[in-house]
Every structure is written in C-alpha cells, then in structure tokens.
Amino acid sequence: MKVLFLIFMSLLYCSMANAQLWNPDMGNGEYKNPVIYADYSDPDVIRVGEDFYMVSSSFNAMPGIPVLHSKDLINWEIINHVYTSLPFDKYDKPAHGQGSWAPSIRYHEGTFYVYFCTPYEGLFVATTDHPKNEWELTHMLSVELWEDPCPLWDDDGNAYLVRSKLCGDDLYIHKMSPDGKKLLDNGKLVFSDPTQQPTIEGPKIFKKDGFYYILAPAGGVNNGWQTALRASNIYGPWEQKVVLHQGSTLINGPHQGGLVELSSGEWWFAHFQDAGYMGRVVHLQPVEWIDDWPMMGYLEPDSEIGIPFEKHKKPDMGKKYEAKIPQTDDEFNEGQLGLQWQWHANPKTEWFRMNENTLQLNAIQNHSQEGNLWMVPNLLLQKFPAPTFSVTTKIAFQADQEGDKSGLLIMGRQWGYLAMERRNDGDYLCMQEGKFVKCADATVEIESIKITDSQVYLRVDVDEAAQCQFYYSLNNKEFKAIGTPFTAQKGRWIGAKVGLFCLNPNLVKSEGYSEFEWFRYN
C-alpha cells in the first residue's frame, strides 16, 4: 500500500506540475485565449489543404522565424525555422531589436513564400516546396527603414507587395515580378491617415469577392486596434473601418495578425497581445463578414466594433485533434537541439556539441565586464511557455580556468542566473542578477556557496508577477532556495527568456565546458 501511495502521489505531482503549462484546448469543444501563451510576435497564418502554418518575428534570435503547424488553429507545434542565421557580421553579436520583423507567409503555385524586412538591411524572401524542408533565403533589396511586407498574386497574374515603414503611418504598394523575387517599381503611397489611423503598420493584403483588402493594426502595440481597408482598385482609394479593439476587455492592443478561411467556410483571425514580460502572445478570434467587412470577435451592445473573446467554440474542423503546445522540454538525446531553442545571435559550431545523451556547452570567451550578458551571443534560450512555471536542469560542470561559468538563466533587459563558477579557491554555486546599463557594473552577486560536487540540479520558479526564485539540489529531491527573487523583464521587442549559458572572461581560450543532461518543465 505504501508503494501504491507513493506512485499515486508521484503521478499527482506530475499532473499538477504539468497543468502549470498553458493549454488553450478546454476539452469540451471550446478554447481559451491566448491559444499560444508564449512570445510569437506578429503572427501570420495560412491554410494549405487541411494544414495551417504560422510564422512570427524573431528579431535577434537565431535560428530565425519559427514555422509552426496546426490542424485546428488551437494546438500548435514548431516544425522548422526559415533561416539558421542572417548573412551580416553585425548579427554575430546580439543586435537587440533588429533582425526579422513581422513576416508574412503565402502559398502560390506549389511554393511557400515568407517575406520579411530587417530595419537596416532591407527586404528578404524565403521559399520552399514544404515548410518542413529547407528554405532558400534571398536578399531582394538593400534598403533601410522598411517593415512588414506582404505579397499578393492577383487574378490576372500580376504580383504586388504591400509594406509599411518604420514608425508606421504610411502604407505602400510595389509591383513585383511573377516569381515574387524582384520589385519592379519604387512603390506608391496608397494610404496615410495619421489622424484616424496613427502608426498604421503590419499590413496583410488579400482579395475577396472583387474587393482588395488590407488588414493593418493602428494606434500602437499597447493600446491600438485592428483596421480594415477596402478598395475596388489595388491602388485605392481605400475605405477604412475599425473591426476589432480592446473595448471593455483586458486584451489590450489587439495587434497585428493573419486572417484565414477554413474549408468549412468559417473565417478566423490570429493576432497578438503585448503581455509584458511574457512577450507578445497569440489570440484567436472568429470573423463574420458583415456588409463586406471582416468583423472580428463579438459586438458589444450599441457598438459597431468587435471586441476579443476570452473563450469561444473551437473552429469547425469536423474532428478533434490532439492537444499540443509548442515544444518545451528537451532530453538532449536526439542528436540535435529541439526546435524551441534559439541563440541570441548567429550561432557558431564551436559553441556547443550534442553528445550521445547530453548537451555540451563550451566555455566561450567573452570579455564583458562584471558579468554583463547583454552582448553575449552564445546564450541558448527559449520563450517563456506560460505565465507561471518551474524548470529544472542537471549540469555537470567541467571548468578549465578561473572565471569559467555556466548555469541556468532568465534573460531580458534585467537578468538573473544560478551558475557554477570556478574561482581561485574552488568551485562556487552563485546566484547573480544584472540589468542593461551603460557605464556601470551590470551584474551583482546576491549569494554564493562553495561546492565540491561537479553535478548539480538547478531550478527556477516563475510566478504570475514575474518573480523568479532559484533553487539547487544535489540529489534532485531536496531543493534549497538560493539568492532572492528578482523580477523578469522583457527584452527589446521580445519577452523574457529562459535557458542555459557557458562562458569564460579570460584572454586565454578555455577548454572548460558543461554538460546538461536534460531541461524539464515540472
């Protein structure tokens, strides 16, 4: 009986712990928002047959532009990235806030296309025959301050590209070659109304029932709304209508996204909400066409503008699909990193090695003073998967030089970590925290203890107030708190992240490393 009781309690603990990760599928035919409670900024969605594909911004994180797949718009998993790195030296270090902004994904004549801009390198397109396969990246145009491109292949075979500019307000349309690889003109300003639609950006263009439509958010990320533009000619004039706003809900924004039609004839809109330290999380709203306008969410009494649903009946797919969320845990036994991981800059092969059953992170030279991690490229991170969670990892620390350091990290404009560090009198377990500052010590030590074990279990708990508390254990059973709680903060256009690092501050190259056996959300 004692054995059965222990087994029951173990299963109960696992069930309670797993429940901490957000599951939007309520199991009763309904879903709750966000459908992805993680930082998938600027989502765009298409349907090809019975499959849905989503892409989102990556900014400085590599590999870039995750590609997600779903069968029902509710349950999503990562299947690929559009590129491994960007072909510019500046991205060998963290180019915070730069990199890929607001991609669009389309399918045309057997080819998948993803378009995006970087703020200072210009316009890119990536193509493939299937989203799971390798993408071919083409740098279409070197130009500054463009953003948020989206293509349209018209009924007559002509191709166009709509885009906005940095800081919004203006929308432009360019003629494009039929293969989608070259712009044919300088573009034409087609919409600008700073009084009624300030900071309009993120345009998505499509055609329906003889009308051209551009969906674009306006009013800013935190307090803006969704605008629909409509015209019978692609160059306008464009009518305008606000089709979704926050209203009386707690869903601020709601910001840009993608519109998709189901085979059942239903229409749905996936958009993001800025959720502070969580980043930009993904919501899903039903769409009803009223007087040839795509009205989103539901109408409050005496209102002509939709407001977001917190929960709703699931999209009509004709069948039920397995509940999924984008990947989180990694046992490091597949010979490659899980698709949930991203580096903070263009990755290099010498940073890590996949052993038979472990991930080896090497102590890469970094000369940032006082533990400043803001410009460290070899941070291996993933998105926060829920507003509250606990994650544990097992580390085997193999230092070579004084200063070698490796451990578990929460990263943003403010960061904190629990790490093993080699000092002149032995190895220490240290909890430190820091923040992005100029001309000042970035990181301070909160607590450290001398330790003789080379293998330690590291844990961090994150609560709904973004308070992060680190723990350690020598047996994976009794965990002791170390240091004090600190508050996670988002980065530059991205949410806070959790992950691993290994580095050394010396001029002489270190042969030190750490092996991580697994990374698990509890």
Given a contact cutoff of 8 angstroms between Cβ atoms, the answer to whether 172 and 187 are in contact is: yes
Given a contact cutoff of 8 angstroms between Cβ atoms, the answer to whether 273 and 251 are in contact is: yes
Whether 42 sits among the annotated catalytic residues: the reply is yes
CB neighbourhood size of 250 (10 A): 8
Q: Select from 496, 501, 497 the least CA-distant residue to 513.
A: 501
Given a contact cutoff of 8 angstroms between Cβ atoms, the answer to whether 161 and 176 are in contact is: yes
Distance CA 242, CA 253 (A): 13
Catalytic, out of 25, 39, 42, 404:
42
How do 480-487 and 364-365 pair as beta strands? Answer: unpaired
Burial zone of 170 (CB within 10 Å; 0-12 exposed, 13-18 middle, 19+ buried): middle
Distance CA 116, CA 263 (A): 28
Catalytic, out of 72, 148, 201, 515:
201
Which amino acid, residue 519? F
Region of 335 (left: φ > 0; alpha: ψ -120 to 50; beta: rest) is left
Burial zone of 165 (CB within 10 Å; 0-12 exposed, 13-18 middle, 19+ buried): middle
Instruction: Tell me the two tokens of residue 39.
Output: 């930082």
Instruction: Tell me the two tokens of residue 32.
Output: 């709750």
Residues contacting 415, CB < 8 A, separation 6+: 373, 409, 433, 434, 435, 443
Whether 329 sits among the annotated catalytic residues: the reply is no
Which DSSP state fits 442?
-
Q: Which residues are catalytic?
A: 42, 201
